[in-house]
Structure formats: C-alpha cells, structure tokens
C-alpha cells in the first residue's frame, strides 16, 4: 500500500512538473503561430511516449525481481540523486530557478522570428518545437514510470499517476492560457528527488542482498533520513551562499 | 558516427547528468553492499550513509569553485 502510494505520488509529481515546462513551450508556439500544428505536435509526442512505456514496461516485468531491483534501484538512485542535487542547488541559490515567464517570452520571440514551412498543412516549426518540448520533457517521466513502476511490477499505476498529472496540467493550462509560473516547480522536483532516492536505496539494497530492519517499514525511515539529509545540505549551502553574497562573490 | 555520438551524449546526460562522480560512487557503494551481503555481513546502514555522503560531496564540490580565493 505504502509502495503504491509513493509510486503514484512520484509519477504524478514528476509528470506534473515536466508537463508545466512542456506547456510553456507549447503555449508559446501555439499563441504565436497557431494551435493546429502545436496540438498535432503535442499529441504525436504523447503517443510516442505511450509507445515507449507500453513497450518497455512489460519487458521489465519478465526479469527476475532481485536482478531487476538491483539494476533498476541503482539507475533510479543515480537518476533521483540528479534531481535532488539540482533541487538542493536551486533551493540554496547556487543554481537559477526555472523562470517559466522568461522561457515563454524567449520561445515566443524565437517562434515569431522563425521562417514558415508548411508540409501537409502542418507548420513544421510549430510541430517540431511542440513535439520536442513534450517528448523530451516527457521522456524523464516515461523513464520514471517504467523503472519505478517496473521494480514494483505495477507500471500501470505509475502510468495512471503520470496521465492524471498530464491531464490536470493540460486542463489548468487551457483555463489560464498562460505559463504556470506560480507552480512551485523546485519543491516538486525536490519531492520527486527524495522519493526516487529513497526507493533507489531500498531496492538497490534489497537487490544487493540487504535485509532491511522492519522490512517495508524501513522505507519510511529511509524517506525521513533522505529528507533530513537534503534539508541539512540545503541549509548548509544557503548559509554558504549568503556568505558569498556578503563577500561580493555572486553564485 | 556523429549521430551515434549525439545519441550516446544524450543518454549520458540523461542518466549520469552533471556529476559523473556521483554515479560512479553509487555504483561502487552498491557493489560494496553486494559484496558484504554475499560474505555474511548485512550492511543495511551502509548504502543510505554512502548516498548521503556522496550527495553532500557532490553539492559542496559544485559550489566550491565559487568560493573567494578559488
């Protein structure tokens, strides 16, 4: 139950934050150059991502669970630490936060400057930018869905979490019709990083032959440990950043 | 060949990311845990500690270059 809840939340948050970034790109080209090609590009990318998940998900399910958890746990741990590392650097001021409004303006400017090339009734620039935006942002989500879901033999639940998030972001985007710059992207990435790292440690450890004290209950302890560790590092780096600002060295 | 290099670069950036030492450290920590577990030692505490130490090392290293006098 705990596993499934974490799986759903991780997939939902990861997809929500990536789709907020993709939405900014699609909105910028859609508003500037027309919606038809932007929608076709988005739908094609979502279709391609569905195929990736549908093809790789069942393939992982046939592997023995211990080997699967060792490999997938390790990959998930490396991947999760990447998210957590970036989120800590952003939260402490050492890396710039994502500015959806600035990205929107830059994308709009680029879209207005780009030449028009229509093939089969589709504006190629709009299609390509929308497709790449959604596919590349979505690929990380597909990766999380396949690995996280695969290690738990429940890719369907992870895919459901991701689909629910995509739907929510899409609906909110349709209503507000502007970039979702108020979404606390870094906090969400932080949460996803913590969850991926926690499960990565748990599964890689299990796959390596570790017997966790208290079995599944140790997941909660690991989550608290990773959360506390991340918070301590963020606090340490914030002080470091403040020191740098005082001495006039900008990060 | 160029496409292959681009493809490889994409997956490297995708999985390994900004700090290859972090990935290498994780692989080494898992290997050590595996070795210990298969030689009768249940080092359940080792992997969480190693991961936190690696993360700490990685973020501090990333900010070090910006310290005055470096």
Among A237, A148, A66, residue whose Cα is nearest residue B38:
A66
Contact A85 B62 (CB under 8 A): yes
Out of A73, A82, A237, the one facing B63 most closely (by C-beta) is A237
pLDDT tens, position by position, A99-148: 888 888 898 889 888 877 878 788 999 999 999 999 998 888 898 888 88
CA distance B3 to chain A (A): 17
Paired residues of A123 in beta bridges: A118
- Residue A155's nearest CA partner among A77, A52, A82 is A52
A38: nearest Cα among A139, A141, A107: A107
Nearest alpha carbon to residue A161 among A141, A178, A131: A141
Nearest residue of chain B to residue A218 (CA atoms): B44
Average pLDDT over residues A55-80: 85
- Tell me how far apart the alpha carbons of residues A10 and A239 are, in angstroms, rounded to a whole number: 29
Residues 6+ apart with CB under 8 A from A43: none
List the single best residue of B19, B21, B29, B30 to mutate versus A (max A Cβ within 10 A): B30
* Positive or negative: CA dihedral A28, A29, A35, A41: negative
Identify the weakest region by mean pLDDT among A8-22, A58-72, A146-160, A225-239: A58-72
Cα R_g (chain A), whole angstroms: 20
Angle at the Cα of A110 from the Cα atoms of A106 and A112, rounded to 5 degrees? 115
Task: Give the number of residues written for chain B.
Answer: 70
- Min Cα distance A108 → chain B (Å) is 26
Residue-wise pLDDT tens digits, A10-51: 889 988 988 888 999 999 999 899 889 999 999 999 999 999
Provide the mean pLDDT of chain A.
88
Model confidence at B70: pLDDT above 50: no
The predicted pLDDT at position B27 comes to 96
Q: For A108-117, b where at least 16 C-beta lie within 10 A, e where not — what string?
A: beebeebeee
Q: Which residue in A91, A193, A204, A230 has the most chain B C-beta atoms within 10 A of its own C-beta, making it the best mutation to test that interface?
A: A204
**pLDDT class of B46 with cuts at 50, 70, 90:** very high
Q: Is the pLDDT of residue A71 over 50?
A: yes
Domain boundaries, chain A: 2-246
CA-based nearest residue in chain A for residue B38: A209
Burial class (CB in 10 A: 0-12, 13-18, 19+), A124: middle
CB contact B53 to A (< 8 Å): no
Largest CA distance in chain A: 62
CA dihedral B2→B8→B13→B17, nearest 10 degrees, is -140
Band (B69; pLDDT cuts 50, 70, 90): very low
Q: Which residues of A touch B34 (CB under 8 A)?
A: 70, 208-209
Assign A123 to helix, strand or coil.
Answer: strand
Does the complex come out with an ipTM higher than 0.85?
yes
Residue A152 DSSP one-character state: T
Residues 6-25 of chain B whose Cβ lies under 8 A from any Cβ of chain A: 14-19, 22-23
What secondary structure letter does DSSP report for A98?
A: P
Pairwise CB contact (< 8 Å): A81 & B56:
no
B68 vs A: CB within 8 A:
yes
Whether B47 has a pLDDT exceeding 90, the answer reads: yes
Judged by CB atoms closer than 8 Å, whether chains meet at A139 and B66 is answered as: no
Nearest to A211 among B42, B60, B66 (CB): B42
Q: CA-CA distance, A30 to A17, in Å (whole number)?
A: 20
Q: Does B56 contact A at CB distance below 8 Å?
A: yes
Could you tell me the sign of the dihedral formed by the alpha carbons of A204, A207, A208, A212, in that order? positive
A190 against B69, higher pLDDT? A190
């Amino acid at each position: 139950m705990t596993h499934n809840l974490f799986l759903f939340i991780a997939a939902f948050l990861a997809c929500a934050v990536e789709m907020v970034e993709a939405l900014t790109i699609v909105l910028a080209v859609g508003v500037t150059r027309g919606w038809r090609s932007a929608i076709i590009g988005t739908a094609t990318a979502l279709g391609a991502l569905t195929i990736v998940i549908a093809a790789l998900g069942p393939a992982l399910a046939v592997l023995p669970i211990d080997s699967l958890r060792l490999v997938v746990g390790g990959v998930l741990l490396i991947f999760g630490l990447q998210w957590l590392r970036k989120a800590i650097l952003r939260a402490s001021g050492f890396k710039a936060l994502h500015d959806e409004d600035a990205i929107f303006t830059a994308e709009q400017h680029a879209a207005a400057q780009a030449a028009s090339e229509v093939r089969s009734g589709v504006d190629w620039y709009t299609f390509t930018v929308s497709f790449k935006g959604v596919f590349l942002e979505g690929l990380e989500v597909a990766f999380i869905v396949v690995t996280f879901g695969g290690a738990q033999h429940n890719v369907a639940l992870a895919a459901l979490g991701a689909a629910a998030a995509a739907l929510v972001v899409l609906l909110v985007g349709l209503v507000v019709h502007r970039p979702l710059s108020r979404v606390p992207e870094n906090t969400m990435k932080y949460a996803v990083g913590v969850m991926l790292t926690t499960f990565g440690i748990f599964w890689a450890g299990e796959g390596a032959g570790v017997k966790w004290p208290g079995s599944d209950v140790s997941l909660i302890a690991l989550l608290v440990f990773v959360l506390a560790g991340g918070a301590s590092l963020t606090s340490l780096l914030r002080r470091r950043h403040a020191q740098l600002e005082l001495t006039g060295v900008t990060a | 060949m160029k496409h292959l290099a681009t493809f490889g670069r994409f997956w490297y950036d995708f999985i390994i990311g900004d700090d290859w030492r972090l990935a290498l450290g994780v692989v080494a920590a898992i290997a050590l845990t595996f070795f210990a577990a298969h030689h009768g030692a249940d080092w359940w505490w080792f992997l969480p500690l190693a991961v936190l130490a690696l993360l700490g090392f990685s973020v501090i290293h990333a900010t070090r270059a910006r310290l005055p006098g470096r």
